[in-house]
């Protein structure tokens, strides 16, 4: 078990936002799996169409799996289902099991602070309707996806923390100050050198504040999801499992748009490095509010050993997407086997 602000995730195993959490049927299957401690939705926008909306094309937007290991390459963007549908599905799923503590992490995105604020308002209405502000735990959290590499003309905000990311985080901070029971996380891209980690943490530290009547600083961000896919990657056809339509048979590229986000085993070492770098920086950070931020380790987690490695380098929970897409929900039993037996370790 791990506690992340007001979330209780037991076991500390879940899915990450991905195409395999797109609709009610998939979410229900994830929720009913006894080996998931939480469920993350596919990243949604507020409405359809939206200025950020990624219109899904069944020809251009696909995923292919590697022929040599459990890696994947995808050209997907955000969900074709708007946030309002996820809110409805979550409410219906939870209504069937009101005694459960298993939470939903609602993954959302927007490049507009105004739209983002309205999305959080919608999620807060859901929380209000189920009494999620009461008691000692919550069943609803917000994850801001700041890291999808596949959106044309919309670079991942987390690669520009000061210019693009901070205005969005300020919006979340306002929401948190209005309701400190809200659990907020951000999904980050893979970073490759030290200054990138320092820049993100400096941006997060700007959000810390002392609530009225308290001398203790708090930060609105409760968790980091590390890491999203590595963009600008290519599989040639001899690297991928056969899956494309015959109309594209002459192309040497496994994905129709050529480039996509790399995930799975191929980025596992990079994901371990990202998790460990953030964990070490957070642990030693001069801002005490940042030391309480937890990390959900993502990237190549597909069995007990890979999950164990994520926990060893500093993750409080682990999540997967590629392995879920390849193996289905049965993979979570394997991941749970790699979780620490001693809760105090996390």
Tell me the per-residue pLDDT of 210-237, one tens digit each, with 9 for 90 and over.
998 899 999 999 999 999 999 999 999 9
Tens of pLDDT, residues 67-112: 999 999 999 999 999 999 999 999 999 999 999 999 999 999 999 9
Instruction: Kindly indicate the confidence band of residue 248, based on its pLDDT and cuts at 50, 70 and 90.
Output: low
Give the C-alpha distances (Å, rounded to integers) separating 89 from 24, 84, 106, 329.
6, 9, 11, 19
Q: What is the pLDDT of residue 6?
A: 98
Q: Which of 38-47, 49-58, 59-68 is least confident?
A: 49-58
Q: Structure pTM?
A: 0.95
| CB-based contact 263:298 (threshold 8 Å) | no
d(CA 150, CA 266): 18
Give the count of beta carbons closer than 10 Å to the beta carbon of residue 295: 27
Taking alpha carbons only, the member of 276, 277, 268 closest to residue 322 is 268
Position 98 scores a pLDDT of 93
Whole-number Å distance between alpha carbons of 180 and 174: 10
- Looking only at the bridges linking them, the beta strands covering 71-74 and 260-264 are antiparallel
The more confident residue out of 56 and 23 is 23
pLDDT (mean) for 118-143: 97
Query: How large is the average pLDDT for residues 288-313?
Result: 98
Q: What angle do CA 214, 218, 222 make, to 5 degrees?
A: 150
**Cα–chain-centroid distance for residue 69?**
23
Closest-CA residue to 105 (of 298, 264, 342): 298
| Average of per-residue pLDDT across 234-263 | 84
CATH of 2-54+78-232+266-338, one of 3.30.40.10, 3.90.230.10, 3.90.1150.10, 3.20.20.70: 3.20.20.70
Kindly report the average pLDDT of the chain as a whole number. 94
Say whether pLDDT at 344 is over 90.
no
pLDDT at 130: 96
pLDDT of residue 54: 57
CA dist 162 and 95 (Å) reads 41
Q: 221 near 183, Cβ under 8 Å?
A: no
Give the dihedral of Cα atoms 187, 135, 289, 298; nearest 10 deg.
Answer: -20
């Amino acid at each position: 078990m791990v506690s992340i602000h007001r979330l209780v995730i037991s076991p500390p195993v879940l899915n990450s936002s991905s195409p395999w959490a797109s609709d009610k049927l998939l979410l229900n299957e994830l929720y009913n799996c006894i080996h998931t401690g939480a469920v993350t939705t596919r990243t949604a926008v507020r409405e359809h169409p939206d200025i950020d909306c990624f219109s899904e094309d069944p020809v251009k937007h696909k995923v292919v799996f590697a022929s040599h290991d459990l890696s994947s390459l995808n050209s997907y963007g955000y969900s074709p289902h708007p946030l309002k549908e996820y809110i409805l599905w979550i409410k219906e799923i939870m209504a069937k099991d009101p005694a459960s503590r298993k939470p939903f992490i609602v993954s959302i995105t927007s490049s507009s602070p105004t739209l983002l604020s309205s999305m959080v308002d919608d999620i807060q209405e859901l929380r209000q309707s189920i009494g999620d502000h009461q008691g000692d735990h919550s069943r609803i959290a917000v994850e801001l996806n700041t890291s999808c590499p596949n959106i044309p003309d919309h670079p991942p905000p987390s690669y520009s923390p000061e210019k693009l990311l901070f205005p969005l985080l300020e919006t979340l901070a306002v929401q948190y100050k209005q309701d400190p029971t809200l659990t907020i996380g951000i999904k980050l891209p893979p970073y490759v050198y030290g200054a990138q980690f320092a820049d993100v943490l400096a941006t997060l530290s700007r959000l810390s504040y002392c609530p009225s009547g308290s001398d203790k600083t708090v930060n609105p961000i409760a968790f980091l999801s590390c890491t999203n896919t590595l963009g600008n990657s290519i599989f040639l056809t001899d690297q991928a499992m056969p899956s494309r339509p015959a109309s594209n048979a002459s192309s040497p590229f496994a994905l129709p748009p050529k480039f996509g986000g790399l995930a799975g085993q191929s980025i596992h070492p990079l994901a371990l490095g990202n998790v460990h770098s953030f964990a070490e920086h957070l642990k030693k950070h001069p801002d005490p509010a940042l030391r309480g931020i937890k990390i959900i380790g993502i990237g190549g987690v597909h069995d007990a050993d890979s999950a164990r490695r994520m926990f060893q380098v500093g993750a409080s929970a682990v999540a997967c997407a590629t392995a879920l897409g390849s193996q289905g929900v049965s993979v979570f039993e394997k991941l749970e086997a790699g979780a620490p037996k001693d809760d105090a370790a996390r």
